[in-house]
Structure 1
Amino acid sequence: MTVALPASLLLVGAGKMGGAMLDGWLKIGLPLARITVIDPHPSPDMQALAARGLVLNPALESLAPQAVLVLAVKPQMLDEAAPALNRLVGEGTVVLSILAGKTIANIQERLPAALSVVRAMPNLPASIGRGVTAAVGSAGLTAAQRDLAQALLAGVGSVEWLDDEALIDAVTAISGSGPAYVFHLAECLAEAGRQLGLPADVAVRLARATVSGSGELLHQSDLPAGTLRENVTSKGGTTAAALDVLMAADGLQPLITRTAGAAKRRAAELSG
Structure 2
Amino acid sequence: MAASDTPSSRGRSGRPVGTITRGTTNTNRLRRMDRWIAYTAGRALRASAAPPVAVDLGYGAAPWTAVELAARLRAVRADVRVVGIEIDPARVAAALPMAEPPLLEFRRGGFEVPLDGGARAQLIRAANVLRQYDEDQVAEVWARLCGRLAPDGLLVEGTCDEVGRRHVWVALGPEGPRTVTFAARLANLERPSDLAERLPKALIHHNVPGRPVHSFLRDFDRAWAAAAPLGAFGARQRWAAACAALAADWPLQDAPARRRQGELTVDWAALAPR
Please, what TM-score do these two structures have when normalized by structure 1?
Answer: 0.34
TM-score of the aligned structures, taking structure 2 as reference length:
0.34
- Write 1 or 2 for the structure with the bigger share of helix: 1
Larger Rg: 1
Greater RCO, CA 8 A, separation 6+: 1
